[in-house]
Chain A
């Protein structure tokens, strides 16, 4: 075909096709984009967080900040004032200016399609494969649905598409033999690096695309290395260029995004309790902000003790006893994440009520801790802890500070020496029970109602317990000079590291509960079950276009077989000294898509956290591109076996069939994305009853 037409007309066709794809994208994505005018699905989370950015109040989330910041920015610019509550899915916007945010997300979501077009073109330089691959993605109703709301996914997928495009653009440039430090090369590498940083700053699943880019870069370098006409220094130059643009540059960007995040969220909010004392000291409105306290701990001081585990609370007690059946019926000791008078403890030497003058508490001292409000001593004994049977119970015991020998604790600065002073906030403390030799710890388990759902405190005989670390937070003692908490406030770097620890902890904590139905990775590619976005009269159901999805699945299998057959054929041909003819570039591109698909899908099998259907969509992008490429590869192979006229007829007929089936299936399933009303599909009189191809679809 290429021979018959000259270069200018083929480029004209390319532009026309590209224009058509863009037009179709625009039409499908923006049709009814502002409907429904209520909060859909996870918009409730991301809308809330966008409001937090606009109001600058601190919050806690398991995802990195970029996506939410972009949503907030778009909202701010289009007049959203951050006052709407995004209470729950289904609540009406009632005049809140949500349009800007939704259109922004939809725009990014729409840009994915032209980017995919460019990517496949860059990979194969084959217009047919490009069109089919792009069309599959364009006509997938699930992809459409997911990319039209105030969610992180359109942003993530957009940056991911930018990355993939960048990866293959860089490959083409490298293959063309562009010099390592030429401006064009560097520009595209910087683009790629920026896209990488953005992807991973939206959601941590961006890590997979980073891996993909890493593999692709290694392959590029490997190819460059294999070119024996060039010196090794040439490869080294490439390596240096890429290290800077694809490693250092993205890291800088990533840190920069966090810097913005931490700078913007300067006010105290509901997420404070998850963070350490030093972190909180930076938040305006937090009690630790602008506070001052003595630098070191002395006997007689009233202190609060914060547990060092991620999200740990303050050592707490109150006028309630452990109920019968939960150890001795003495006063409860818990950890409590909120600030309260009942968190105050007075530090005393183990043998006296008071000391004369200022005597500093030192590491290795034996102390008693008396609860300020109730006068009971922190106490432990050989009773099982209420929730964790292996640990010992910790109680409040005694009257007005008079207890028994089981109230004695040895205070030790972790990582310090005997005799070290105990510093407010900075020192990590371990409290070892003197008689039972166990460490005061919190297990993080919630007590039942009798304990007001606060967290259990126990004494762990295994002293290697990372949760047994505490720090002094408030320190009230008048005889020592106070100093400002500013000194303790974490630096940016510490806060960056801590944010990550908290995020990882939060992610790991997202565990399915027993009996809960969660989405399983095996269900995704077969489009087993969808997800309701909006359940009221205007129903929207996230479900892939089955024609596209099942087609993709079949083509994954076909690719696998083709790949094996092809490599065996090559190997055999080598053995007999023949040369295999045929173009391997399509198969090579398909191979990379397969790698991308596997990278974005297989790791979910090993994940313990709660998984959702929409986690599959990044893999779907690769899978669709693969299908487009393999379709053309197959058709070309068939064509090569037939006579010229027949071949062309079959080729064009089949292409037409694929395109029309895809478009028709989109037409069929479009109501899922644009909104359905009327009865559910499992009732016979529903308008969409005919679309319920699987029993598990519940629209």
Chain B
């Protein structure tokens, strides 16, 4: 407790000194300069000799000055920073009035929110909801189609409003940085330094100025961490309150983007560390347990509630059916307005003898059990033979050939009795194909593409020794009781072949040309696979007995909707979670983009190859650039092999930039590119911190202690928050198997900038406390200033690429092209 108090006390006089300088001059750069010379004396002195007398004198000084001033003045730095940030972030916000990069996607989603049309996205909804909210308040009516990157916004789109949320988040980030560093660093000037670095960082500027989610995510994350840190340093209600704030904010963080989960892990680690350290206090075990448990409850309960709440709002906002429906199961689709619901409304619930049904493959790829009047070829390409029976496939489109009739084996008539004779779990049925009237059959013949499984066919009696084996047992997977009825849409069924005990299964492979490239259906011994699960989608009762009549009925049938299908929020929520989780894994395997199979080499490629512009490509140079523009505008949503994709290993050295936008009639353009000076210093600081950490650890092992306990605690705190935070947000990307972009690095980068500020802080402190080299402090400070000026100049130089409002000549661009691997874009000269 004593140490904590002294820590607080030390901070106050420093702030006072600093701020009194501030009042003299409005420029805070200058003030921070002055402060370094004047203000730092007190705390440093304090740490050299941690004697009680010094603390006491400082306490006296503290008492002498009313605390009112203190608050007012402290805020001033914060406010100036915030204003500067708002100024840079909001300046000319609606410029360029064109669709920039991923605004294409987010804009589309905002439009869909406006219209209430259901969509599917692999990211959670909070960020998009916030964008929508701003747009809605400004009166955006959704009458704009986001067709491609670079097309101009119409007058009716409130561009400024749509972009204001990220812009404000990006500005607040500067303030939060300052506050967070106040908690971590030794000197206040470090906090200012960190905030200034964030303020003059081109990548954060560019990312904050458009409808992009990173700045919102980072803001929530950092604010959450700040609250958690505050909570760990306080006791009583303050701790509870801060932790609740933190937990809420972290919940928001991963409701914006899933990568926010890493920030959440960091928070859990910090709280865990706090509890671990408290165990060495002589508190009672009970108290310790209680405080652990409530922290756990808060940290898990609140974020979870936020997350679920966000999805609740999401689903409530999107009641209508839309283009992404087919990703979801039939039950989900049927619960949306329009779409499938308009077909399935009013259809009978219980599948009975004589029911006409379509059977949909429930999980993964959307397709329906299908057959057509074509047979399996007698011999396959690999020489194996087939049964030459009628093909059964899984077809991804609605088709009249997807209709099947449920029949009890012993009943000859197909008409539905009154009351209908409902089929229940465990009963044995036959399935007749509606158009060809052949029964679904399986037998001991290897399937065409997956020879380890049995072939499924529609039985044709060739009068050879192959008898029909067309009995299937209905197993309802989600049954409530052992005699559940088979319900349309709701019931998930597994059809088990009675003779062989295999289940009807979607194998996931495509048939060759003879099967019209439809998907293979087999009977597989492994019953529990999720691809063996089917559900009835459309359903009606057979009325006509005659076969011709039945066919006409099938072809011409139309359903008249009477009542809607309902699905509870929880069912919808769980399904959506499941789909989002599995979606990413599907994508590279060509589920969503079947034409683009995974190009593994693109992910493992080394540093990109480039033709030097000053050698031999000058003829093609401009054309190449122009073409790149084409690529940029046309192919940004292609998932693999993106032109501006990068690898995690390339990020710390800023090897690649991302072109966000190019003006159609000038060379003004927007790029996501970092401030080189900060960026490299940051990378250096990570190495430096790591090195110093090792040195301290080894020295301590040999019982040398270089730091006072207080300084050591600060050092390790910074390590746990910043160093660990950086790696937590960075390392996972090495294991992620999809296209990555530079902006994935930004959440890690903010921790890196803070670490950079801390490392400078720590070096300064170390120089200061050593009598022999104390005089070097001035030189060190001077170096930092020169470096800072350089940072600002670089920022200013590259800001044209963040604002995108200046036409650039070729020479300008070549001047900015500090690295061969940065691809800027030029229009072809006329």
Is the A/B pair a real complex?
Answer: yes
A-side residues, CB < 8 A to B, are: 222, 225-226, 228, 232, 309, 363-364, 388-390, 410, 412, 414, 417-418, 430, 432, 434, 436-438, 443-445, 461-469, 505, 508-509, 511, 513-517, 568, 571-572, 574-576, 606, 608, 682, 695-696, 698
**Cα-based distance from A383 to B611 in the complex (angstroms):** 24
Whether A464 pairs with B609 at a CB distance below 8 angstroms is yes
CB of B773 within 8 A of chain A?
no
Other A-B pairs, 10, CB within 8 Å; known A410-B617, A462-B631, A572-B285: A412-B611, A437-B623, A444-B601, A461-B630, A461-B631, A509-B600, A517-B529, A571-B276, A574-B280, A575-B279
| Closest partner residue, chain B, to A445 (CB atom) | B597
Tell me how far the C-beta of A40 lies from the nearest C-beta in chain B, rounded to whole angstroms.
18
**Cα-based distance from A443 to B628 in the complex (angstroms):** 19
Whether B616 pairs with A571 at a CB distance below 8 angstroms is no
Tell me how far the C-beta of B612 lies from the nearest C-beta in chain A, rounded to whole angstroms.
9
Q: List residues of chain B with CB within 8 A of the CB of A505.
A: 601
**Cα-based distance from A515 to B453 in the complex (angstroms):** 13
Secondary structure dominating the interface of A: loop
Whether A438 pairs with B635 at a CB distance below 8 angstroms is no
Q: List residues of chain B with CB within 8 A of the CB of A461.
A: 627-628, 630-631
Q: List 5 A-B contacts (CB under 8 A).
A: A410-B619, A461-B631, A464-B643, A517-B526, A695-B527
Whether B611 pairs with A571 at a CB distance below 8 angstroms is no
Q: List residues of chain A with CB within 8 A of the CB of B526.
A: 517, 696
Tell me how far the C-beta of B490 lies from the nearest C-beta in chain A, rounded to whole angstroms.
26
Whether A309 pairs with B508 at a CB distance below 8 angstroms is no
Q: List residues of chain A with CB within 8 A of the CB of B531.
A: 515
**Cα-based distance from A222 to B700 in the complex (angstroms):** 11
| Closest partner residue, chain B, to A232 (CB atom) | B702
Whether B600 pairs with A515 at a CB distance below 8 angstroms is no
Tell me how far the C-beta of A229 lies from the nearest C-beta in chain B, rounded to whole angstroms.
11
| Closest partner residue, chain B, to A469 (CB atom) | B609
Q: List residues of chain A with CB within 8 A of the CB of B627.
A: 436-438, 461
Q: List residues of chain A with CB within 8 A of the CB of B276.
A: 571
CB of B735 within 8 A of chain A?
yes
Which of the listed residues A309, A517, A568 has the most CB atoms from chain B within 10 Å of its own CB?
Answer: A517
Contact among A225, A465, A515 with B507 in the assembled complex (CB-CB below 8 Å): A515
Q: List residues of chain A with CB within 8 A of the CB of B620.
A: 410, 432, 434, 437
**Cα-based distance from A517 to B529 in the complex (angstroms):** 9
Whether B609 pairs with A467 at a CB distance below 8 angstroms is no
B-side residues, CB < 8 A to A, are: 276, 279-282, 285, 450, 501, 506-509, 525-529, 531, 589-591, 595-601, 604-606, 608-611, 615-617, 619-620, 623-624, 627-628, 630-631, 635, 638, 641, 643, 698, 701-703, 735, 737
Contact among B506, B601, B624, B702 with A437 in the assembled complex (CB-CB below 8 Å): B624
Contact among A232, A414, A466, A508 with B600 in the assembled complex (CB-CB below 8 Å): A508
Tell me how far the C-beta of A467 lies from the nearest C-beta in chain B, rounded to whole angstroms.
7
Q: List residues of chain A with CB within 8 A of the CB of B702.
A: 225, 228, 232
| Closest partner residue, chain B, to A430 (CB atom) | B611
Given contacts A509-B600, A572-B285, contact A225 B595 (CB under 8 A): no
| Closest partner residue, chain A, to B591 (CB atom) | A514
Tell me how far the C-beta of B393 lies from the nearest C-beta in chain A, rounded to whole angstroms.
14
Given contacts A222-B701, A418-B615, A571-B280, contact A464 B597 (CB under 8 A): no
Contact among A225, A513, A514, A517 with B701 in the assembled complex (CB-CB below 8 Å): A225
**Cα-based distance from A574 to B282 in the complex (angstroms):** 9
**Cα-based distance from A463 to B621 in the complex (angstroms):** 11
**Cα-based distance from A244 to B702 in the complex (angstroms):** 24
Whether A466 pairs with B525 at a CB distance below 8 angstroms is no
Whether B599 pairs with A417 at a CB distance below 8 angstroms is no
| Closest partner residue, chain B, to A414 (CB atom) | B609
Q: List residues of chain B with CB within 8 A of the CB of A469.
A: 609
**Cα-based distance from A228 to B703 in the complex (angstroms):** 8
Given contacts A432-B620, A466-B606, A514-B509, contact A225 B628 (CB under 8 A): no
Q: List residues of chain B with CB within 8 A of the CB of A467.
A: 601
Which of the listed residues A412, A468, A515, A568 has the most CB atoms from chain B within 10 Å of its own CB?
Answer: A515
**Cα-based distance from A572 to B595 in the complex (angstroms):** 61
Whether B641 pairs with A466 at a CB distance below 8 angstroms is no
Which of the listed residues A444, A462, A469 has the most CB atoms from chain B within 10 Å of its own CB?
Answer: A462
Q: List residues of chain B with CB within 8 A of the CB of A434.
A: 619-620
**Cα-based distance from A434 to B623 in the complex (angstroms):** 10
Whether A466 pairs with B631 at a CB distance below 8 angstroms is no
Which of the listed residues B531, B600, B703 has the most CB atoms from chain A within 10 Å of its own CB?
Answer: B600
**Cα-based distance from A476 to B282 in the complex (angstroms):** 87
Which of the listed residues B610, B638, B702 has the most CB atoms from chain A within 10 Å of its own CB?
Answer: B702
Whether B509 pairs with A513 at a CB distance below 8 angstroms is yes
Whether B282 pairs with A575 at a CB distance below 8 angstroms is yes
Whether A511 pairs with B609 at a CB distance below 8 angstroms is no
Contact among A364, A462, A576, A698 with B643 in the assembled complex (CB-CB below 8 Å): A462
Whether B599 pairs with A568 at a CB distance below 8 angstroms is no
**Cα-based distance from A390 to B529 in the complex (angstroms):** 36
Whether A466 pairs with B635 at a CB distance below 8 angstroms is no
Q: List residues of chain B with CB within 8 A of the CB of A574.
A: 280
Whether B599 pairs with A390 at a CB distance below 8 angstroms is no
Whether A466 pairs with B601 at a CB distance below 8 angstroms is yes
**Cα-based distance from A417 to B617 in the complex (angstroms):** 11
Q: List residues of chain A with CB within 8 A of the CB of B605.
A: 466
Q: List residues of chain B with CB within 8 A of the CB of A575.
A: 279-282
Whether B525 pairs with A698 at a CB distance below 8 angstroms is yes
Given contacts A412-B616, A575-B279, A606-B735, contact A463 B508 (CB under 8 A): no
Tell me how far the C-beta of A218 lies from the nearest C-beta in chain B, rounded to whole angstroms.
11
Q: List residues of chain A with CB within 8 A of the CB of B643.
A: 462, 464
Tell me how far the C-beta of B758 lies from the nearest C-beta in chain A, rounded to whole angstroms.
26
Tell me how far the C-beta of A370 lies from the nearest C-beta in chain B, rounded to whole angstroms.
22
**Cα-based distance from A692 to B590 in the complex (angstroms):** 38
**Cα-based distance from A656 to B81 in the complex (angstroms):** 73
Whether B508 pairs with A514 at a CB distance below 8 angstroms is yes
Q: List residues of chain B with CB within 8 A of the CB of A414.
A: 609
**Cα-based distance from A363 to B617 in the complex (angstroms):** 11
Q: List residues of chain A with CB within 8 A of the CB of B595.
A: 389
**Cα-based distance from A567 to B703 in the complex (angstroms):** 24
**Cα-based distance from A515 to B452 in the complex (angstroms):** 13
Whether A432 pairs with B617 at a CB distance below 8 angstroms is yes
Contact among B280, B606, B615, B624 with A417 in the assembled complex (CB-CB below 8 Å): B615
Q: List residues of chain A with CB within 8 A of the CB of B596.
A: 388-389
| Closest partner residue, chain B, to A465 (CB atom) | B609
Q: List residues of chain A with CB within 8 A of the CB of B610.
A: 463-464
**Cα-based distance from A197 to B188 in the complex (angstroms):** 53
Q: List residues of chain A with CB within 8 A of the CB of B507.
A: 515
| Closest partner residue, chain B, to A362 (CB atom) | B616
Whether B589 pairs with A225 at a CB distance below 8 angstroms is no
Q: List residues of chain B with CB within 8 A of the CB of A514.
A: 508-509, 589-591
| Closest partner residue, chain A, to B508 (CB atom) | A515
Tell me how far the C-beta of A39 lies from the nearest C-beta in chain B, rounded to whole angstroms.
19
**Cα-based distance from A515 to B698 in the complex (angstroms):** 52
**Cα-based distance from A468 to B617 in the complex (angstroms):** 16
Contact among B450, B598, B608 with A511 in the assembled complex (CB-CB below 8 Å): B598
Q: List residues of chain B with CB within 8 A of the CB of A696.
A: 526, 528
Q: List residues of chain B with CB within 8 A of the CB of A465.
A: 609
**Cα-based distance from A575 to B604 in the complex (angstroms):** 51
**Cα-based distance from A225 to B702 in the complex (angstroms):** 7
Whether B631 pairs with A443 at a CB distance below 8 angstroms is no
Given contacts A437-B623, A462-B631, A511-B600, contact A572 B616 (CB under 8 A): no
Q: List residues of chain A with CB within 8 A of the CB of B600.
A: 508-509, 511
**Cα-based distance from A698 to B452 in the complex (angstroms):** 13
Q: List residues of chain A with CB within 8 A of the CB of B589.
A: 514
Q: List residues of chain A with CB within 8 A of the CB of B604.
A: 508
Whether B279 pairs with A516 at a CB distance below 8 angstroms is no
| Closest partner residue, chain A, to B627 (CB atom) | A461
| Closest partner residue, chain B, to A570 (CB atom) | B279
**Cα-based distance from A682 to B276 in the complex (angstroms):** 52
Q: List residues of chain A with CB within 8 A of the CB of B609.
A: 414, 463-466, 468-469
Which of the listed residues B597, B620, B635, B643 has the most CB atoms from chain A within 10 Å of its own CB?
Answer: B620
Whether B635 pairs with A390 at a CB distance below 8 angstroms is yes
